[in-house]
Each structure stands twice: as C-alpha cells, then as structure tokens.
Amino acid sequence: MSKQAKRILTCVAWPYANASLHLGHVAGCLLPADVFTRYHRLVGNDVLMVSGSDEHGTPIAVAAEAEKVEPSVIAERYHALNSKALLDLDIAFDLFTRTSTDNHREVAQGVFLRLHELGFVERRTQQIPYCPTCDRFLPDRFVEGTCPHCGFGEARGDQCDNCGKTLDPQELIDPRCKLTGDTPRIRDTDHLFFKLSAFERKLLDWIEDKKHWRPNVMNFTRNWLKEGLKDRAITRDLAWGVPIPLEGYEDKRIYVWFEAVIGYLSASIEWARRSGDPDAWRLWWEDPKALHYYFLGKDNIPFHTIIWPAMLMAHGGLTLAYDVPANEYLQMGGAKFSKSAGRGVWVSDAVERFQVDALRYYLTSIMPETRDSTWNWEEFIERINSELVGIFGNLCHRTLTFTRKSYGRIPPLSGLVEDDAQALARIEEAQREVSAAYEACEFRRALRGVMSLAQAGNQYFDKKAPWKLIKEDREACGTALHVCLRILQALAVLSAPLVPASAARLWGFLGNDPPISWAGAVGDLPAGRELPEPAILFRKIEPGEIEEGGGGP
C-alpha cells in the first residue's frame, strides 16, 4: 500500500437467499459497488469488498413452509445460484459469504453480548400477533395487513413496500396470518430490545458533516431522526436464525435485521482468516481513517444510516460509514423489480442471452442514482448497438484494423499539429472527469465521460481521414493513428470498472500486458510495437433476440 493509498471497505447489502437475483438488484447495489471497487483497485487503493447471502429471517422461513422443506434447503439453493450469478456478472467480491457460517454466528453473538453487557439491551414484554390455527407467534413476514402510514393493503409485518417505512407486526391494520389468512390474536411474550432511542442526539451530530451524502439518503435519515427513535426488538419467536447467547431464550432467535448488518464485520473477519492474516480486518474496522461505503437500495437506508451506526456506537471502537450511496429502484415495465411480486429479469437468464458487458453497460447507463429508472428492452438494443457497438466498438475496430493493415506496428508520434495535441489533451481531461465521477459514486456520469471520449476519438479519426492521409503524408497519418491508439488505451483504462472483460481485451489488442493500471490512461505507447490480431469487442444485438419478459429462474 503506497503512502497516499486510501483504505476502503465496500459493503454491499446482503441479498436474501430466498429467490434468484434479478437485474433490479444488480443495478440497485451490486453493480455500483463493483464499479466503485474496481475503480479504487485500479488507482491503487486498498479495497475490501464483502457481502453474502442473508439466510435467516422470515422470507426464507416462509418459503420453506410453502415448499415443506427445512429453511436451510432454500438458503443453500439460492446461495449457490446467486454466488454463480455474481461470478457470471463479473462482480468481484473479495468475499461473498453467508450468514449461516459458524463465524457469523460467533461474531453476531459477540456483538449482541457486548451491547447487553454495556446496558444497551433491555427485556420488555411485547404484545405479538399469535395465530391460533398455526399455534405460534407470527413474526414480521408471517403477518400481512394494511400499512398504518400509507394505507397500502399488502404491507408486511416488518416493512411496507409501498412507503418504505419499517413496521412492527402489531402496528398493521387488519392483520392476517400469511399462511392461513386467519386473524391473529394478540399475546404477551418477552423480548430483548436495543435502546436505539439513546443514540438520537449522537446520530444527529454524526450526520452533521456528511455533506457528501446523496440528498435522498440525507433527507430520509433526517426525517427518521426528526420523528424520534424508538427502541427496537432484537429477538423474536422463531426457530430459524442465530440463537440468543443467554439463558431463558432457547425458543427465540436474534432478529434478522440485527445480525444481518453485523455481517459486514463478520465477513471482514472471515476474509482476514482466509487470507492467512487473521487480524487484517482490524486495518479496516479499527482505523477511523478507513472509508466505509455501503451500497444498497433505498428501502435499506435506515438500517445503514441509523440502526447499524447506532449499534457500532454502542459497541465502540469500530469505524462508522463514510458514505451510503443508496439507489432508488429500477422499474420493469413501470413496476418495481421485486422478487416477492415475481417480476424481474433473472441474472441467470440474462447472462446466457447477452454479453455480460452489454448488460453492465446498459444497467450502468440507467442506474437509479437519483430517481427511479426503467429497464426498457427497445432502449437496451438501441443503446448497445448505437453506443457500445457503434461508437466505442467502431473506434476500436477501425483504428486497430487500419493500423495493422497499413503499418503492422504502432507508428511513431511525430510532428504534432494542433488537432493532434488537442486530442491528446482531451485524454487527460477525460481521465480527470471520469475519475471525479467514480470518486463521487456517480457512475452514470463516469459512463458518459467514457463515451464522450470515444465520440471525440471518432470525430478525430473522421477529420484525419487516414485512408486519404496515408497517400499524401505517411508520417502524419502514422501520428494520427498513434493518437487514436492512445485514445483506445485511455478507453480501456477508464471503462475497465464498467466493462472489465472488454476493457482487458482492448488493453491486450494494444500489445499491453495485464493488468490494467489507472496511470496507463495517459501513458505512452511504444512506437514499433507489433499489434496483435484484434477481434470484435461488442456484439450487435438483433431485435429478434429480445422477447418481452425473459424466462423464470
């Protein structure tokens, strides 16, 4: 790690292991986290990117009930499918683990006990819906009803999908058992509560200097704090989950929201152990200068800007979030991508039908960074064919084939005229612009910066008209092609976080050895170097390849 290198922890919201990943999830948090991490690795920062399958909680217990299998069967199935989907999409985690590991259980119980010992956990009697037919308490997702905040009729006991507010099951109007539809009775049961209310002032002070947060994240957080913080139950009546490390709670489990956020810490610890340096996680978690970034969808904001920071404050000695660049939703045909509603385009299906970099490109271009956005199949074809193939791919193809055919090697740069110098200066400008965009987690802007350089490259190529120039002035033509090759080199570097596989190929077409380095964007290309045989970078998509909807998981 060099002197100026930053230490960055990229935390990605843990996908539930109760369904296959869909493209909405990819655009929402997985891809932005990956693009961000790849950028910081290229510039030489020390990045650790972790996440895993959230295997506990009622979504999986509910799915298991429906299939009449053990919850672990469901979790195992989707952890395997989703791990593969992430590899297929080139999402480069340092560790993608799961909450069912012994390590996670130990770390989660450790945090639980510490908060308990420090007096931040309190026993209280709660009135919980109890289903007489099922003969048990109905924790969050086992009960549905009308949202007390917005009136949405299908709010779940843990959260309303319509207004995003988190809920307690007993707050629902007209509650019903998810399994039988019966109206539950209310019964007393003892639970442990985290004293979240004790952190209201501290959290307000903490967000004071977070001027770099996205407005949606800051507004959501401020509004939550303004409404006042309530203490939250961290245990519930369920057999599936992390056991409570205290006597008298054998039939209860730690509430999933509480242990899942601890996953960022437990995954870092697991990564360190696997890397052979079991204490390495401390460099990220015990150094206040380490920068922690949390990537997630907007429904997850309060857990990452209020609840998890409060838990870390209670624990003490651990680093808090630097930024929480939460995304809005990606819509599909006007409706939110949702696993529970069965809509979406499944990753496993999409990667079989299209180039992974084409999917990454289009998903980045419509990333819901500031408002909801929509996946549109016609637009997907249009953007890939006219931009990725027509602008980026075209500049690569015509530069590389013409140079190889006419010179065989990289021609020297000599006798620069004004537009050559301008084109070279444009590369440096693009590197500055695109760097700033990646740093600010504005990935759509980074992509536009890359494409604008490719566009400028095509304009320069057209103006120089090497097919004519070569007959008039072979040396000037060689210079023009050298400049075009330098633009390609810059494109390979600047686009590497977005379309990593294609960028690596382009880097190789210039005769460069892997890996790509960020400084390479403005580096020299040695005149006289032989150019290897290039190939098509991006495949054109035929309209017939698109059928509305895609297949199921």
Q: Which stretch binds Zn ion (CB under 5 A): 92-100, 159-167, 344-352, 422-430?
A: 159-167
Q: Can you tell me whether residue 104 is helix, strand or coil?
A: helix
Please say whether the beta carbons of 229 and 306 come within 8 A: yes
Task: Tell me the backbone φ, ψ of residue 156, rounded to 5 degrees.
Answer: -95, 165
Q: Which stretch binds Zn ion (CB under 5 A): 83-91, 124-132, 244-252, 287-295?
A: 124-132
Closest distance to Zn ion from the beta carbon of 433 (Å): 40
Closest distance to Zn ion from the beta carbon of 188 (Å): 18
Beta bridge partners of 159: 166
Nearest to 200 by CA among 314, 299, 285: 314
Q: Does 131 bind Zn ion (CB under 5 A)?
A: yes
The H or E element that residue 173 is part of is strand 173-177
CA distances from 283 to 9, 40, 279, 291 (A): 10, 17, 8, 11
Q: Which stretch binds Zn ion (CB under 5 A): 87-95, 147-155, 313-321, 466-474?
A: 147-155
Q: Pick from 19, 47, 107, 147: which binds Zn ion (CB under 5 A)?
A: 147
The H or E element that residue 131 is part of is strand 121-131
Q: Which is nearer to Zn ion, 160 or 446 (CB)?
A: 160
Q: How far apart are CA 134 and CA 237, in angstroms?
A: 13
Q: How far apart are CA 267 and CA 11, in angstroms?
A: 10
Q: Pick from 43, 92, 113, 134: which binds Zn ion (CB under 5 A)?
A: 134
Closest distance to Zn ion from the beta carbon of 237 (Å): 13
Q: Which is nearer to Zn ion, 145 or 497 (CB)?
A: 145
Q: Pick from 114, 149, 397, 398: which binds Zn ion (CB under 5 A)?
A: 149
Q: Which is nearer to Zn ion, 149 or 273 (CB)?
A: 149
Q: How far apart are CA 182 and CA 133, in angstroms?
A: 8
Closest distance to Zn ion from the beta carbon of 164 (Å): 7
Q: Does 128 bind Zn ion (CB under 5 A)?
A: no
Q: Which is nearer to Zn ion, 92 or 163 (CB)?
A: 163
CA distances from 456 to 379, 384, 394 (A): 23, 18, 12
Closest distance to Zn ion from the beta carbon of 61 (Å): 13
What's the start-to-end Cα distance of the chain, in Å? 42
Count of beta carbons in the 10 Å neighbourhood of residue 92: 17
Supply 177's token pair: 């058992």
Supply 130's token pair: 């109890």
Q: Does 505 bind Zn ion (CB under 5 A)?
A: no
Closest distance to Zn ion from the beta carbon of 161 (Å): 8
Please say whether the beta carbons of 50 and 280 come within 8 A: no
Closest distance to Zn ion from the beta carbon of 227 (Å): 14
Interface positions, 245-264, toward Zn ion (CB under 5 A)? none
Q: Pick from 76, 90, 110, 152: which binds Zn ion (CB under 5 A)?
A: 152
Supply 260's token pair: 């899942």
Q: CA quadruple 230, 235, 240, 245: dihedral positive or negative?
A: positive
Nearest to 319 by CA among 283, 295, 274: 283
Q: Does 179 bind Zn ion (CB under 5 A)?
A: yes
Q: Does 341 bind Zn ion (CB under 5 A)?
A: no
Closest distance to Zn ion from the beta carbon of 194 (Å): 23
Q: Which is nearer to Zn ion, 298 or 464 (CB)?
A: 298
Q: Does 43 bind Zn ion (CB under 5 A)?
A: no
Closest distance to Zn ion from the beta carbon of 185 (Å): 11
Q: Does 177 bind Zn ion (CB under 5 A)?
A: yes
Q: Which stretch binds Zn ion (CB under 5 A): 125-133, 429-437, 454-462, 492-500?
A: 125-133
Interface positions, 410-439, toward Zn ion (CB under 5 A)? none
Q: Does 455 bind Zn ion (CB under 5 A)?
A: no
Q: Which is nearer to Zn ion, 153 or 317 (CB)?
A: 153
Q: Which is nearer to Zn ion, 180 or 386 (CB)?
A: 180
Closest distance to Zn ion from the beta carbon of 174 (Å): 14
Helices and strands of the chain, counted as H and E runs: 21, 16
Closest distance to Zn ion from the beta carbon of 159 (Å): 9
* 317: Cα separation from own chain's centroid: 26
Q: Pick from 127, 133, 219, 275: which binds Zn ion (CB under 5 A)?
A: 133
Q: Pick from 101, 146, 162, 348: which binds Zn ion (CB under 5 A)?
A: 162
Q: Does 166 bind Zn ion (CB under 5 A)?
A: no
Q: Which is nearer to Zn ion, 219 or 275 (CB)?
A: 219
Please say whether the beta carbons of 161 and 155 come within 8 A: yes
Q: Does 280 bind Zn ion (CB under 5 A)?
A: no
* DSSP for 446-492, written as a single string: HHHHHHHHHHHHHHHHHHH-HHHHHHH-HHHHHHHHHHHHHHHHHHH
Please say whether the beta carbons of 303 and 316 come within 8 A: no
DSSP state of 541: P
Tell me the site size for Zn ion, rule CB under 5 A: 13
Closest distance to Zn ion from the beta carbon of 131 (Å): 3
Q: Pick from 49, 107, 160, 321: which binds Zn ion (CB under 5 A)?
A: 160
Q: Does 161 bind Zn ion (CB under 5 A)?
A: no
**Stated length of the chain:** 553
Residue type, 487: I
Kindly report whether the peptide bond that precedes residue 515 is cis, defined as omega within 30 degrees of 0. Answer: yes
Residues in contact with Zn ion by the rule CB under 5 A: 131, 133-134, 147, 149-150, 152, 160, 162-163, 177, 179-180
